[in-house]
Amino acid sequence: MLIKTLDWIALILLIIGGLDLGVVGLFNYDPIIDIFSAALIVAHTFFFSIGLAAVYGIFRVAQVLSEPQPL
């Protein structure tokens, strides 16, 4: 299966979002908010795009799982 550019973008966003949540859970520190503290709207836009990537990932996984598998 060929991985599309959008798949790569979604994967990268999900990895960044997962690592960010891991740091928040372990250290009670949010690096995304700290990096974009001057422009909070940028941080919120980044979080929104991570959420969109998660929704895209759900549909993409469902699509891949519904494809017939070769024996």
pLDDT digits over 12-56, tens only? 999 999 999 999 999 999 999 999 888 889 999 999 999 999 999
pTM equals: 0.83
- The pLDDT confidence band at residue 70, using thresholds 50, 70 and 90, is confident
CA distance 20 to 54: 14
Are 53 and 17 within 8 A, CB to CB? Answer: yes
* Residue 46: count of CB within 10 angstroms of its CB: 18
Q: Is residue 2 pLDDT above 80, yes or no?
A: no
* Residue 44: count of CB within 10 angstroms of its CB: 13
